[in-house]
Amino acid sequence: MSEDYKEAFEKTRIAGAVAAEALDQVAKIIKPGIKTCAIDELCYEFLNDNGAYSAPLLYRGFPKSCCISTNHVVCHGIPSEKILRDGDIVNVDVTALKNGWHGDTSRTFEIGEVSIKAKKLVKTTYDAMMKGISIIKDNIYLGDIGATIQKHVEDEGFSVVQDFCGHGIGKSFHQEPNVLHYGKRGTGEKIKTGMIFTIEPMINVGNYETKTLNDGWTAVTKDKSLSAQFEHTVGVTKDGYEIFTLSKN
Ligand code: MF3
Ligand code: CO
Ligand code: CO
């Protein structure tokens, strides 16, 4: 991996930037009254116009170009005729495939004025992701990342979803290792310089349990409580990390 990883980083930087820019475009149009399929169309067009493909489209039969997960939907929501309303929280998850490499990122947007609880959930989820990322460097354990995220989330009174995790990413969309967002320090695989993976915690106001709806994709909280998520694609360096999916705004 050591010799090759500079090329892998360069390719992921390019794919990651396109995915982040797609979300910057989404940020401009997302508001009360918009249908989630309109956001999906924007993502499809933006990726195509920028020399990329949408990796989710037809991935294991997924029917759309991004995942849009509102309120109690944990992840993998399918864009539809659903109209966003004031007070909703909405995760948009975009994965660009450019020059054969992937960049995967998501943000949770607040639509109009949201409740104090929803605001706290969104902030806690973002902070948990960034705290998990902030400790990354060569030779730490994957469990260190999970433990850092879990501690922050549980200190704030929320719970970490266990049914979905981050993942290695590169020429394939999902590869080894699984990156759990909970766990114990000093456990699991050691991470090494050159590894590229996502951190994408899904955090619930209530219980951590999820179930998948009959469409085979949409994952919701079992107790119907609100759920939020953020995702970055990151690379491990000797002294730290690089985030490939930062917004330039
Ligand atoms: N982007 C999601 C992730 O973060 C995966 C979506 S797979 C899909 O891993 F098929 F639902 F699009
Ligand atoms: Co991902
Ligand atoms: Co994603």
Give the pLDDT confidence of 216-238 residue by residue, as tens digits: 999 999 999 999 999 999 999 99
Tallying the residues shown for the chain, one arrives at: 249
4 C-alpha to ligand 3 centroid (Å):
24
Identify the residue whose tokens are 């970055």.
Answer: 232
Whether ligand 1 lies within 6 angstroms of the CB of 67 is answered as yes
Taking the centre of ligand 1 as the mean of its atom positions, its distance from the CA of residue 142, in whole angstroms, is 21
| Digit-coded pLDDT (tens) for 11-65 | 999 999 999 999 999 999 999 999 999 999 999 999 999 999 999 999 999 999 9
Which residues lie closer than 8 Å to 5 by C-beta, 6 or more apart?
Answer: 193, 194, 235
Measure the CA–CA gap between 197 and 199, rounded to whole angstroms.
Answer: 7
Percent residues over pLDDT 70 in the chain: 99
pLDDT at 4: 83
Which positions ≥6 away from 131 have C-beta within 8 Å?
Answer: 148, 149, 152
Q: How far is the CA of 38 from the centre of ligand 3 (A)?
A: 19
- Select from 57, 47, 37 the least CA-distant residue to 17: 47
Find out whether 109 and 30 touch, Cβ atoms under 8 Å. yes
pLDDT at 1 over 70: no
Mean pLDDT within 96-109: 98
Predicted confidence band at 201 (pLDDT cuts at 50, 70, 90)? very high
d(CA 242, CA 226): 30
For the question of whether the overall pTM of this predicted structure is more than 0.95, the answer is yes
pLDDT at 81 over 70: yes
